[in-house]
Amino acid sequence: RAGAKKLRPREKNGQQDHGSRSKKAEGRHLAALVLARGGSKGIPLKNIKMLAGVPLLGWVLRAAIDSEMFDSVWVSTDHDEIEKVAKSWGAKVHRRSPEVSRDCSSSVETIQEFLRNNTEVDVVCHIQCTSPCLHPSHLQQALKKIIEDGYDSVFSVVRRHQFRWKEVKEGSGEYTEPINLIPAKRPRRQDWDGELYENGSFYIGTRDLILKENSTQGRKVAYFEMEPEHSVDIDVDIDWPVAEERVLRFGYFGRGVSLMFCRVSRCLTDGRVFLSASGEDMVSIQTKDTTGLRMLQNDGVEVVLLISNEDPVTQSMAEKLKKVMGCEVMDVGDDPLKDVQSVVEQKRLDWKDVAYMGKEVSFTACLGRWPPEGPYAETPASKGPPSSAASRNSASSPASQPES
């Protein structure tokens, strides 16, 4: 997309600079912190389980980094594999102590340990890993309440239209009573504003508040209201398919890419060769794949099909796709990286702006060009950042509880 490079987090001394934020922060260090221990009971290692092709942890890290509001983005964990995934998505890692890694450990205890170990942090945004529909704009707007409006704490909420009743014990002889309605004057949904509930996406608090008040909510408190479609929480197995459907529709898929290279042979074809009655070789192509490429084009991504001259059948098919879809066809030789690299340089792009699909061994060099510190989704035939279109086409709890 035009201007895609300008939207990426700035780089400084070879590392991402997450401090592209308002100067009104007055020199305070803003840190994002995701708590992701390895001992989750509901869903084992759920924090790195794949959700719609992306580790659960990756969804919130991508939103935090792309918000460009933070001086540092962290994951607090006690697990080696979670640490590996966190670093691959551009986060720093706080290796928590055993004292705050127990089932009974609270989120606040872990955040306090993080703050004591990182004395430069003035404001911490605790982002819950189980909220995959979080967007950068949510964090940007919420943090402005801290930076510009002077609040000490901000947390995310969702509006619900649910009538609540008093709970009574069976056999107690008590009768239940309405809590937030008058049954004789039961309002219509459109006539009632509903109520605000924590949705558990994030909790922002100042260092002084968290260390002295033992809470992320206190003093001058504000809330940030999120839409119901973005208020997703994953706690047990049954939540997973629901969250996957929701994230494919309402999740944040990153800033996208500007250019996609796609090897025709064995990426768009299925590896089978058919023989016609006249003795001609024929190959088949999945219409779902071409639909996916069109979706990428509609999303502003330029698609380049890669072929080899010695493969006349694939070359003929690529020319047909070029005519139908209007995408460029490029011949590559024994060193496809050299050919592809020249196009990337001509278009003044970085490899972070590029998606790549290849299958043969000769294409591993191209796949390896994707920055190891950057987020990516990997299958046997592809390696590159998931775009909204590609991800849609390929798809076949509050902090008051002990943290996970």
Every domain of the chain and the residues it spans? 4-250, 259-394
88-146 tens-digit pLDDT: 999 999 999 999 998 889 999 999 999 999 999 999 999 999 999 999 999 999 999 99
**pLDDT at position 380:** 36
282-313 tens-digit pLDDT: 766 667 777 778 877 877 789 998 887 666 77
- Name the band, by pLDDT with cuts 50, 70 and 90, for residue 369: low
| pTM listed for this prediction | 0.67
**pLDDT at position 296:** 79
Catalytic residue among 10, 95, 186, 249: 186
**pLDDT at position 207:** 98
Residue 2: CB atoms within 10 A of its CB come to 7
What span, in angstroms and rounded, lies between the C-alpha atoms of 219 and 150? 11
Interstrand relation of 221-226 and 328-331 (parallel, antiparallel or unpaired): unpaired
Mean pLDDT of 28-44: 89
Which of the two residues, 70 and 336, has the higher pLDDT score?
70
375, pLDDT greater than 70: no
DSSP string, 292-312: HHHHHHHTT-EEEEEE-TT-H
Instruction: Out of 121-125, 347-351, 354-358, give the one with best mean pLDDT.
Output: 121-125
What span, in angstroms and rounded, lies between the C-alpha atoms of 63 and 300? 21
202, pLDDT greater than 90: yes
Which of the two residues, 295 and 394, has the higher pLDDT score?
295
Residue 171 CB contacts under 8 Å (≥ 6 apart), including other chains: none
- Name the band, by pLDDT with cuts 50, 70 and 90, for residue 368: low
Q: What is the torsion angle, in degrees rounded to the nearest 10, for the CA atoms of residue 45, residue 48, residue 53 and residue 58?
A: 150
Cβ atoms of 4 and 258 within 8 Å: the answer is: yes
> For this structure, is 186 an active site residue?
yes
> Nearest-CA neighbor of 207 among 137, 116, 332?
116
9, pLDDT greater than 90: no
**pLDDT at position 312:** 74
Residue 314 CB contacts under 8 Å (≥ 6 apart), including other chains: 264, 265, 269, 283, 307, 308
- Name the band, by pLDDT with cuts 50, 70 and 90, for residue 31: very high
197, pLDDT greater than 80: yes
**How far is the first Cα of the chain from the last one, in angstroms, to the nearest whole number?**
37
152, pLDDT greater than 50: yes
- Name the band, by pLDDT with cuts 50, 70 and 90, for residue 383: very low
Written out in words, the top-level CATH class of the domain with range 259-394 is alpha beta
**pLDDT at position 329:** 86
What span, in angstroms and rounded, lies between the C-alpha atoms of 182 and 192? 12
**pLDDT at position 175:** 97
CATH superfamily placement of domain 4-250: Spore Coat Polysaccharide Biosynthesis Protein SpsA; Chain A (3.90.550.10)
Query: 57: exposed, middle or buried (C-beta count within 10 Å: 0-12, 13-18, 19+)?
Result: buried
Length of the chain: 404
What span, in angstroms and rounded, lies between the C-alpha atoms of 120 and 112? 13
- Name the band, by pLDDT with cuts 50, 70 and 90, for residue 198: very high
b/e for 24-37, b at 16 or more Cβ within 10 A? Answer: ebeeebbbbbbbbb
Beta-bridge partners for 154: 204, 222
What span, in angstroms and rounded, lies between the C-alpha atoms of 31 and 20? 13
**pLDDT at position 236:** 86
What span, in angstroms and rounded, lies between the C-alpha atoms of 190 and 187? 8
